[in-house]
Chain A
Amino acid sequence: MKNHTMRRVLAAGAGLALAGTLAACGGSSEGTGEAGEGATAEEIEAALEEGGELTYWTWTPQAEKQIEAFETAYPNVTVNLVDTSGAADNNQQLQNALAAGDGVPDVVQLEYQSLLQYQLPGQLTDLTAYGFGELEDLYTPSTWGAVSQNDGIWGLPQDSGPMAFFYNDAVFTEHGVDVPTTWDEYLEAGKELRAADPDVCIGNDTGDPGLTTSLIWQAGGQPFRTEGEEVTIDLADEGTMRWADMYQEVIDADILCDIPGWTDEWYAALNDGTIASITFGAWGPGILESGVPDGAGDWRVAPMLTYDGTPVNAENGGSAEVVPADAPNKLLGVGFLKWLNSSDESIEAFMETGGFPATVKQLESEEFLGYESEYFGGQAINEVLAGGADGVVEGWQYLPWQSYANDIFADTAGQAWLGETSLADGLAAWQAENEKYGTDQGFTVAD
C-alpha cells in the first residue's frame, strides 16, 4: 500500500501547484452568485420535464441504480455518470476541472469534511434560492448541519455515519473477555485480550486523521471554527483533551495493532480474528460483509463506547452531493440533486445495497429497524446504528482545508502513535502546522 501514500503525496503536490491557478480563476466563479439566480420548485420540475443532459460525479456504488430510476421518472433527462472511484480521486479531479474551468460536473459528491474547502472560495451553488430550505426536516440534524453552514445550503446529505462499536463476539467469548461499553472498559478489555493471546488486539490504529477527528468530536471537542475568513483552531480544548488523555493510555498500553486501515493486511487481520473490534461509522456492515467473509456470524454491533455511560456520538465519514457554482446545466443539476437525495425512490435504491441514509423517515421506518442481519448472527443491527444518530454532538465543523490537514497529520500528531511524542504535543504540532498553512492561504487564524 505504499503506492497509496505515494499517490496521495503526488496528488497533494499537484493540488498545491494548481492552487495558484485556482485563485487566478476565482474571478469567474465569483460572478455566478449574482442576483436573479434561483428557481421555484415548479420551475425546477418544468426543467426536468423538458429534459437535457447533465453530468454527475460520484463514487457511490448505488449510483447506477439511482440514475436508472431517475431516467425512468424523467425520460427526457440523460445523466452522464462518472465514477470517480473514491473521495481522494474525486477531489483531485474536481480541483483540476475547476482550475481548468472546463469539464465541471453539474452534480458532484463531496465528503462532509471537504464541503468548506469548496464553499469558502465560492465554488458551490447556494441552494437556498432554489427553495431547498424546505427540505431541512427530512434530514438528521447533524447531516443538515454539515451542509448548511455559513448562511447557505450547499448540498443535500446523501448518507450519514453515526459511529458504532463493531466487535467480533467469537474472539471476546473465546478469551472470556467482557465486551466493553465505555472507553475505560475498552482499555481493560484490550489488556485482557492481549494477556490471553499476545497476537490479538482489540483494535487497530496507526494514526488515522478521519478516526481521530471523529473521536474528538465524540468527546465533545470543537477544535475547528470557521466564520467567513476567520478560522479558530484549538486542539487543546476540553473535549479534545478528554479524548487525548483517554487515548494516550490506549496507545501506551500497546493494545492496538499497528495495521493501517483498508490494506490487505487489515482485511486479513479482520478475517482471522487478530483484530477484535473496530469503531467506525454506521456504513460499517457493508464493509465487513464484503471484505471479511470469514467473520460471518461472529460479528456484532453495539452502541458507541461512552466516557461515563451517557450516550454521546459523532459522525464518521459520509457525503453530500453539491452543485458547483460553475455547473454548465445548473437548473437540471439542482433538479437531479433534489430527486437524488430527497425522493423515497432514490433513497430506497441507495439503501438496498447497504447504504446508510441521512433521512429521518428512512432511519425510523419499521422495515429498516426490523431488518435482521444474517452476517451479524440475526441481530437487528439498524436499531443500534440508527439509535446512534440521536446522540451526535451538534455544532462540529471541519477545517476549510481538512484534506490538507489530514495529509500532514502523520508527520505531526501521527508521531504519537509511534511513541515519538505524546498525543497532546502531537496535536499542538498539528495545530501549529495548520495555523501556518491557514495564514499562508489568506485566512485569519486564531488560537
Chain B
Amino acid sequence: MAGYSYSRPRRSITLTVLLGFLLVYSVLPLTWLLFSITKDQPDLLGSFGLWFGEGFALFDNLGQVFTYDGGIFSRWFLNTLVYVVVGAGGATLLATAGGYGLAKYRFRGRNAVFAVVLGAIAVPGTALAVPTFLLFSQLGLTNTMWAIILPSLVSPFGLYLMWVFAAEAVPTELLEAARVDGASELRTFFTISLRLLVPGIVTVALFAIVATWNNYFLPLIMLNDPNLYPLTLGLYRWLADASGIGAAPVFHLVITGAFLTIVPIVVVFLVLQRYWQSGLSTGSVKQ
C-alpha cells in the first residue's frame, strides 16, 4: 500500500483519458440540448449544433411550449407527476414493507417468494406490456390513469434491493430489544426500522422515479387520450406533427419540452444522490 492513500491517490493516465472520454460522451448531447433550446426553428435546422444561432429565442420557446396545442404541455407535466408520486411512491412503499418483511421474518414459503421475485427481475417490463394491456382491457382499465399507475406499483428489483438492504441495515438484536420492551411489530417498523432503512428507501425511490418518469411503452399502448399522456408520449406526439398530411413541424418545441422534462429528474437526482451513495456502500462491508 506504499505510495497510495485515500488523500493522495496515484494518477493513472489511462483512467484519466478514459474518464475524460466518458465525460465528453455523456455531456455532449446535453450541451447540444442547452444550445438548441435558445434557437427558433429555422435556427435549429440551419445552424451548428454546439453553438448559439442567430437569435436568442429561449424565452419565446418556453412561452410557446406552455401555450402550443392549448397549453397541453402543463397537463402532461402534471400527469407525469401523478404517475411518479402515486406510482413510484407506491412502489417504494410496497418494496420497503415487503423487503423488510422478507428479510426479518421467517415464514413458510419464503424461499418460494424469493424465487418468484428473482425470476420477475429477469422479465423486462416491455415483454409484459401487451399481456398487461389485454388484462386491463378486460377490466375496462385501459385509457385511464390506473393503467399506468397499477403496473408501476410493482417493482421486483426494488423489493429485492430492500430485502438485501434490510437484512444488513436492521440488526435483528435491535428488533428483539424492541420486542422485549413491548413495542408492537408495526411500531417497531415505523419508529425503528424505517429510519435505519432510509438510504435503501431513497435508492429504491430513485430507481422507481426514474423508471416511471421515463416510462414510454406502457403508456403508448394503454392510452389514447392525449389528456392522460405523460411527458414522454406527449413529446413524441409533437415530434409526429412533423410528418404526413397537415404536417406542421415544431422541432424547437420538442427540444425545449425535452429540456423541461429532464430538469426535474436532474434535480431529484442531485438532491437524493448523497443518500444513494451511502445506500450503495452500506452493506458492502461487513461491520
Contacts and interface: CB of A to CB of B under 8 A. Distances in A.
Interface of A: 3-4, 7, 10-11, 14, 17-18, 21, 57, 59-61, 82-89, 92-93, 96-97, 99-103, 159, 161, 261-264, 267-268, 271-272, 281, 283, 286-287, 290-291, 293-294, 317-319, 354-355
A242 to B, nearest CB: 27
B262 interface: no
Q: Which 7 A-B pairs have the closest CB atoms?
A: A100-B137, A262-B243, A268-B45, A290-B248, A93-B224, A283-B245, A86-B240
B220 to A, nearest CB: 8
Contact of A271 (B46, B143, B225, B247): B46
Contacts of B243: 86, 261-262
Nearest to A261: B243
B245 A318 contact: yes
Nearest to B143: A103
Interface of B: 42, 44-46, 129-130, 133-134, 137-138, 140, 142-143, 217, 220-221, 224-226, 236-237, 239-249, 251
Contacts of B239: 3-4
B140 A102 contact: yes
Nearest to B238: A85
7 contacts: A61-B246, A89-B237, A103-B143, A262-B242, A287-B245, A291-B248, A317-B245
A281 B138 CA distance: 41
Contacts of A93: 224
Nearest to B138: A100
A100 to B, nearest CB: 3
A317 B130 CA distance: 30
A352 B224 CA distance: 28
A271 B42 CA distance: 8
A3 B138 CA distance: 30
A61 B45 contact: no
Contacts of B140: 102
Contacts of A159: 245
A271 B251 CA distance: 14
A286 B240 CA distance: 16
B247 A287 contact: yes
A101 B45 CA distance: 43
Nearest to A287: B247
A89 B240 contact: yes
Nearest to A18: B130
A61 B246 CA distance: 7
A97 B223 CA distance: 10
Contacts of A59: 244, 246
Nearest to B248: A290
A100 B142 contact: yes
A97 B224 contact: yes
Q: Among A159, A268, A281, A318, which residue has the most Cβ atoms of chain B within 10 A?
A: A268
SS class, residues of chain B in contact with chain A: helix
Contacts of A100: 133-134, 137-138, 142
B51 to A, nearest CB: 16
Nearest to A354: B246
B237 A85 contact: yes
Contacts of B245: 159, 161, 281, 283, 287, 317-319
Contacts of B251: 264, 267
B163 to A, nearest CB: 32
A355 B246 contact: yes
Given A92-B221, A96-B142, 13 more contacts: A14-B221, A86-B240, A97-B224, A100-B133, A100-B137, A102-B142, A263-B242, A264-B249, A267-B242, A267-B249, A283-B245, A290-B247, A291-B242
A290 B245 CA distance: 12
Contacts of A103: 142-143, 224
Contacts of A354: 246
Given A103-B224, A271-B45, A21 B246 contact: no
Contacts of B241: 85
A319 B246 CA distance: 12
A83 B226 contact: yes
A100 B138 CA distance: 7
Nearest to B235: A3
Contacts of A318: 245
Contacts of A88: 240
Contacts of B133: 14, 96, 100
A272 B224 contact: no
A4 B241 CA distance: 12
A291 B244 CA distance: 12
Nearest to B69: A83
A315 to B, nearest CB: 12
B213 to A, nearest CB: 17
A22 to B, nearest CB: 11
A336 B247 CA distance: 25
A16 to B, nearest CB: 10
B21 to A, nearest CB: 23
